[in-house]
Structure 1
Amino acid sequence: MRAATTLEVPVTQLDEILVAASPRGGRVAQCDARLPRCVLFRDYVVMPYDSTPPPGRAHAWSVAPELLATRRQISQWAGVSRVAVTNWQRRHPDFPQPKDDGGMERFSLSEVLAWLSARRVPAAQRRGGEPEGITYADRVRRAVRPGTSQDSTTPRHGGESEGTTDAGRVRRAVEPGTSRGSTTEEILTELFGPLGRRVRGSASAAVYLHLVTGLLFLRHSDPASWAGLRDDVHAASDRQSDPQRLIRRIGGRIEAARAAQGLPSSPGKARTSFAALGGPAAEDLGQIMRRCEDLPRTVFGDLLRHYELWDTHSGPPATTPRSLVELIMALFVRAGDQVHLHDPYARAGEMLLGAWKAAGSVTLSGSGADPDLCRLAEMGIRLSGGQARLTPGSPTPWREAPAALADLIVTNPPFNATSTRAPYDTWLFDPPPAHNDNYAWLQHVLASLAPGGKAGVVMPNRAAASDDDREQRLRQHMLDTGTVEFIVALPRQLFAPTRVAAMLWGLRAPGTRPGDDVLFLEVHGRGQVSGQQRILTTAEISTVVACLEQWRACPADLTGPTCVTYEGVSARAVPRTELAQHGYSLDPADHLAARTAPDRPASTPHRPIRMLEEQLWLAERADAKVQDISVDPGVTTVGDHPPGWSTVPLKELCDLQSGPSHQTARRLRDTERGLGLVAPRDLVDRRVRTDTTRRIHPEQTDGMSRFTLRENDILFVRTGTVGPLARVDAAQQGWLLGTNLMRLRAHDGVDPAYLLAVLSARAAQSWIARRAQSATAIPSISTSTLGSLRLPRPPLSEQQRIGAVLTDLDNQIIAHRALADAADRLRTDLADHLTTGLLTTTELR
């Protein structure tokens, strides 16, 4: 081995670049202690680089080999358009000069970084989470990470050909800390994005999740082995060896780490599972390692959340939605509980993890039919600081020898699964029907409870009210023995891959004193939606818990012929005698159907038409204003304009701003009250509806100032059903522009009402429709295209008159729409009163 070269570089302005640190073929053995944060590799060292020449030298340390980048790469990393980079070069003489690299112009990355360091990102263009004062150089440093693909994010080394591998050794090296500044959410988004799809290949999403969790487990449980794995990845990149060999090494190291931590280990298990991965390149594996390097050990729950949103096309969901786990824990687990909690179908351990986080002192056990998921759960819970005894189980655990009884069971068994019935099966009540195992699971859970124990079991809706005689008898047995305490009907779309409706059954161990009633609850509010998945909000969870606690403390409060509704949750306790009259149905829909039925007719006047008086008056006033409208023939022909008019492109009338990306919008969390995030569905009758608008936390709006709405802004649907418009009024001041929308802000000298009018005219709408249809498979239109639409521009006084006339007509439409809606509500209320006997027709005459 040749002697290592030590570089002494004064550290002032720090730009991370690659500096040759030893002769080719050598290895850096150590680095000068005055060089902080340097990371050692074969042939190269990543170290802080000072662009200021050291004392006694006429020039700074040179970069060897020099890193070069194209205009496109610079624009991507800096988060600007390619035109912006071209403008920088044209307008600023001090912008770095391009270098000829085989016929293509490229720029020195170190020179570009130095130039961009003086250019701050304007406040209106900062991304969410970017601090004030961030420069374009900061963006580039964050974006340029070794291990990404050459064509999109990797700088090229001057003088090398595409086939040269020496530079690849540096690019693919795995060093810690390259993603400093990235949030956990950003890292997870990358892990479950294109990078994850490349590594996953044709393997199941669960195998990829196992890989990421295993790497995290190795990273936090065996740092020495993790460092060795870095060398393995470097060697694989250096030799361009078969990635499957690297995969096998990863599997072996994970198994060794499991054994060292006292977890069940099989030397070939992980290697066999990972063999199904799609032949990932060593570069991609290196990037995954870098991202795992910066994740905290408590991230397993967030991993599962991303996984459940990512794995939406591979059949039934493999995990329980996080918000449902939070509801179950809130209902069944208290901090400091010292109980034995068991999950007989543990999936990826999300229930056990939730229990550990909620209580901390519980004894956890679980089993599952999928041994890979059990192994995953063990590592995830151990990473979070807990311990669980997980054993590979069977799809039919009721046939196995009974395990130790549990004080609490929480589980989400497979919905409507089927299995054969064996003559030697024993059942707590009766044999369940063969067409599904729903009641096999329910009986198994009850039989596994210790005396006085409780259980929360997620079941499909059909289990609560099926017509099968055997299932009806089983429900009767459960009610007669007092094992059913409560049922919660959950909103649809809670499980990301499917719209299947589910319920949570709250059960008691047989022998517990039977209750006289069963509490039925239904979550039916708007809640929160992320993508296509419904999420239970904190308010909804708190309300369900409050209803249950109130009923346990004072049953009479929720017992009666009608239900009580709180904040989007309806509740009613139903006597067992009434349940028997309904065929022992446990479907909340059968017992909460009257949640909107009135209990008294006090709100209906003797003459119901009086309930419409305000809407009638508003409609009449709007009609009167419209009646005053008069128009005269213009002194022009079609295609011509009156004197003083002109035709101009839309961009000369207003500023155009597209809404945020889908990725940005998905990061925003919903809240019951907050700023409105306007969506296309909220644009009705050229106004913004406030009752359908999504609400987000105001503190999440950092970096989104350019999407803020003002009174009289015009909103335009730019994707999908292109063309609908709306005008923002004072009530929406400060709200945010949503995805798929465009904001038009009128220039001085342009009346916003006229802008709305001219864009809603047939000529403009026809032009917009044609251009949108010709753009892509999904109709859409860009700001530049819409900005080129040529429109008539009358003098401001005429604009204001046109705007006022059409505003009056819009107000008439809105007033009559409100009148029709009020009449429809009145009709529904009267139907409720009359058909329940609370009012009679004689009382109305």
Structure 2
Amino acid sequence: MSSLGGHVQAEDASSLDEALAMKVRRHRTRLSRLMNAHDATRLVLGLLYLSRTAHDAPGTGVPTWSWLLGQTAGRGSGIRAAVSKCLSHWLPAADEQGADVGTRSLMPVPPPGSEGSLHALIQAIGSTQRVGPLLDQCLRDLSTDQAQADGSHYFTPGDMARLMVGAAVPRDGHRVLDPVCGSGGLLVESHRYVREHVELHPAMSLQGKEQHAHTSQVACMNFAVRGIKAHVFPPGDSLMEPEPEFHDIILANLPFNQRDWTQEDRAEQGVRRPGPPVPVDPRWPEEPPSRGSANSAWIQHIAHALAPAGRAVFLMADSVANSRQPVTRRLRERLLRDDLVECVIALPPRVVGHTKASACLWVLNKDKSARPGWGVRDRRRQVLFVNARRAFEPVPDSRARRLGDKNTASILATLAAWRGLSENGATASPYNDAGGWSRSCSTKEIADREFSLMPTSYAVEPPGPERDTRSRVEQLKLDLADQFDQMRDLELRLLDVLEEI
């Protein structure tokens, strides 16, 4: 993608005209009754994209946004063909090689009966120059659609993106990668974070990879609408091969417990044959990851791609932090032996978006010594645990939860104090362990606890009946997840044995 050029103006979603936002949402909802919600949202995103990019010299015969606005004057049925013509010319191309099998055309086609909504949407979008907040609204609404989340087309909530980027602390000039970039939200937030610190257009390398062609196209539109220079690779699976270059920052909202993730699994399409579970690979020189779950493969893939002082922040299922499965426990042992783990944060349930399972946010760091841009405290052979299980707030008019700005700021303040990180020359805040919230542990203590990385085992709440009940429930959940992991492993072994008979 190429930049639209110039300084990117910050667009505060809170200042968005509510009447305009509601109008766009209402007509998008009407479209979703004529086509699936994902395609309807991509169609609206396409119109937002056209309003910022579809401009050309008059008289060239190229369909432009001004031309499309003119098509709404007659209120005729030709608007569907006009929208398709404009989208076909201007939408960013995506190489479908390696994309989902059976994927339809990438261009969303307006369905019959959508004429009224298209007229209204084009006029509404054409009435404002502040399309960034409208785009954010579309992505937020899409991320709450469970059908899309179940299909892996999920997007990282804004507060979670701010937490992840704030924990990574990207700087101007950094090479930033998201190997499962979705709509590109984590890269957009990285750009915003650096822009606020340097007050200039950031000179950083932003790269995104996405397996699904439709979502990859959404990411391209997301960057273009905001005037952000970023490179989105052709659709493909990041796990298929090691990253060809090292990165200063890696951010990822990973799929949990992904099965059949190796190339051999997909080629066999369910037919298992005897042989090594995973091919020899520099990302796992000591032992291959489990074939039944990609969790450990993702962690090693990310760690292998980090630059000498690189940092990574990613979401991971709870079971990886505390599973007694030998392969997973040995992975944690290797990570601690190499002093890669900086911080693990236990998140509240139901704030991630694409799963109801509880999860942890992991922070890896290849250099925890005191240095500029990271902090004044040497934290080698130490790990910070933050127990943020109860740090959530309800979403208004919904049963959903979110971290919220206050809880996000509290977690980041704890991490910054532990690092000794200060801004604008101020003295770094002191760090002290806080019961039930945070604790700094040596890697030796963690090794003595069978290399468990579960924050709730270290940042323990004060004694009390309520805490005891929660602890028992938490332990039962972990035990159950561990049993499921063992069952999956045994199932794979049994299938391999049956193939040999």
Closer, same or farther in 2 for the Cα pair 1:500/1:189, shift >3 Å? farther
Closer, same or farther in 2 for the Cα pair 1:404/1:427, shift >3 Å? closer
Letter in 2 for 1:516: R
Structure-1 separation of matches of 2:341 and 2:231: 28
1:54-453 equivalences under 5 Å are 183-193=16-26, 195-201=27-33, 203-223=35-55, 225-233=64-72, 237-238=75-76, 240=77, 246-247=79-80, 249-258=82-91, 264=93, 272-274=105-107, 278-295=111-128, 296-299=130-133, 300-309=135-144, 311-316=145-150, 318-333=154-169, 337-360=172-195, 361=202, 362-395=204-237, 397-400=238-241, 402-418=243-259, 419-420=261-262, 421-428=277-284, 429-453=286-310
Paired position in structure 2 for 1:114: none
Structure 1 residue 451: Cα displacement? 1.1
Structure-2 separation of matches of 1:583 and 1:248: 63
Closer, same or farther in 2 for the Cα pair 1:557/1:283, shift >3 Å? closer
Bigger relative contact order (CA 8 A; separation at least 6): 2
Paired position in structure 1 for 2:324: 467
For the residue of structure 1 that corresponds to 2:307, the secondary structure is strand
Counterpart of 2:387 (choices 522, 528, 535) is 522
Structure 1 residue 520: Cα displacement? 0.4
Closer, same or farther in 2 for the Cα pair 1:248/1:391, shift >3 Å? farther
For the residue of structure 2 that corresponds to 1:456, the secondary structure is strand
Cα displacement string for residues 425-468 of structure 1 (whole angstroms, at most 9, x for unaligned residues): 44335311122101111111111111111010111111211221
Cα displacement string for residues 455-482 of structure 1 (whole angstroms, at most 9, x for unaligned residues): 1011111121122110110010001101
Paired position in structure 1 for 2:10: none
Letter in 2 for 1:431: P
Closer, same or farther in 2 for the Cα pair 1:542/1:510, shift >3 Å? closer
Structure 1 residue 249: Cα displacement? 4.0
Paired position in structure 2 for 1:456: 313
Structure-2 separation of matches of 1:254 and 1:271: 16
What count of residue pairs does the alignment treat as equivalent? Answer: 399
The answer to whether the 8 Å contact 2:392/2:401 transfers is yes
Structure-2 separation of matches of 1:347 and 1:251: 24
Structure 1 residue 581: Cα displacement? 2.2
Structure 1 residue 228: Cα displacement? 1.7
Long gaps (5+) in structure 2: 1-14, 57-63, 196-201, 263-276, 370-377, 422-427, 470-501
The answer to whether the 8 Å contact 1:458/1:502 transfers is yes
Structure-2 separation of matches of 1:345 and 1:535: 22
Letter in 1 for 2:159: S
Structure 1 residue 511: Cα displacement? 10
Q: TM-score, normalised by structure 1?
A: 0.44
Closer, same or farther in 2 for the Cα pair 1:467/1:187, shift >3 Å? farther
Paired position in structure 2 for 1:582: 449
RMSD across aligned positions (CA)? 3.3
Closer, same or farther in 2 for the Cα pair 1:482/1:202, shift >3 Å? farther
Structure 1 residue 294: Cα displacement? 3.3
Paired position in structure 2 for 1:509: 366
Structure-1 separation of matches of 2:31 and 2:308: 48
Closer, same or farther in 2 for the Cα pair 1:212/1:348, shift >3 Å? same
Letter in 2 for 1:413: L
- More deviation, 446-455/206-215: 206-215
Structure-1 separation of matches of 2:414 and 2:379: 20
Closer, same or farther in 2 for the Cα pair 1:404/1:298, shift >3 Å? same
Give yes or no for the alignment of 1:539 onto 2:412.
Answer: no
Structure-1 separation of matches of 2:89 and 2:251: 31
Structure-2 separation of matches of 1:248 and 1:510: 56
1:27-42 equivalences under 5 Å are none
Structure 1 residue 408: Cα displacement? 0.5
Counterpart of 1:485 (choices 332, 335, 342) is 342
For the residue of structure 2 that corresponds to 1:214, the secondary structure is helix
Letter in 2 for 1:328: M
Letter in 2 for 1:596: P
Q: TM-score, normalised by structure 2?
A: 0.71
Closer, same or farther in 2 for the Cα pair 1:248/1:490, shift >3 Å? farther
Give yes or no for the alignment of 1:564 onto 2:434.
Answer: yes
Closer, same or farther in 2 for the Cα pair 1:552/1:183, shift >3 Å? closer
For the residue of structure 2 that corresponds to 1:368, the secondary structure is coil
Letter in 1 for 2:33: G
Closer, same or farther in 2 for the Cα pair 1:285/1:436, shift >3 Å? same
Structure-2 separation of matches of 1:436 and 1:459: 12
Structure 1 residue 302: Cα displacement? 3.4
Closer, same or farther in 2 for the Cα pair 1:275/1:256, shift >3 Å? closer
For the residue of structure 2 that corresponds to 1:345, the secondary structure is coil
The answer to whether the 8 Å contact 2:48/2:131 transfers is yes
Structure-2 separation of matches of 1:588 and 1:318: 26
Letter in 2 for 1:508: N
Closer, same or farther in 2 for the Cα pair 1:446/1:312, shift >3 Å? same
1:666-745 equivalences under 5 Å are none
Structure 1 residue 202: Cα displacement? 6.1
Give yes or no for the alignment of 1:596 onto 2:462.
Answer: yes
Structure-2 separation of matches of 1:312 and 1:185: 25
Structure-2 separation of matches of 1:184 and 1:483: 46
For the residue of structure 2 that corresponds to 1:493, the secondary structure is coil
The answer to whether the 8 Å contact 1:188/1:306 transfers is no
Structure 1 residue 306: Cα displacement? 2.8
Closer, same or farther in 2 for the Cα pair 1:474/1:337, shift >3 Å? same
Closer, same or farther in 2 for the Cα pair 1:188/1:404, shift >3 Å? farther
Structure 1 residue 558: Cα displacement? 5.7
Structure 1 residue 183: Cα displacement? 4.7
Structure 1 residue 373: Cα displacement? 1.3
Structure 1 residue 542: Cα displacement? 1.9
Structure-2 separation of matches of 1:579 and 1:556: 26
Structure 1 residue 233: Cα displacement? 4.8
Structure 1 residue 320: Cα displacement? 0.8
Structure-2 separation of matches of 1:510 and 1:436: 29
Structure-1 separation of matches of 2:257 and 2:109: 29
For the residue of structure 2 that corresponds to 1:272, the secondary structure is coil
For the residue of structure 2 that corresponds to 1:564, the secondary structure is coil
Cα displacement string for residues 31-64 of structure 1 (whole angstroms, at most 9, x for unaligned residues): xxxxxxxxxxxxxxxxxxxxxxxxxxxxxxxxxx
Structure-2 separation of matches of 1:558 and 1:344: 33
Structure 1 residue 203: Cα displacement? 4.0
For the residue of structure 2 that corresponds to 1:407, the secondary structure is strand
Cα displacement string for residues 291-337 of structure 1 (whole angstroms, at most 9, x for unaligned residues): 2223413223333223223x134443610111100111222235x62
The answer to whether the 8 Å contact 1:200/1:278 transfers is no
For the residue of structure 2 that corresponds to 1:392, the secondary structure is coil
Paired position in structure 2 for 1:605: none
For the residue of structure 2 that corresponds to 1:273, the secondary structure is coil
- More deviation, 273-282/224-233: 273-282
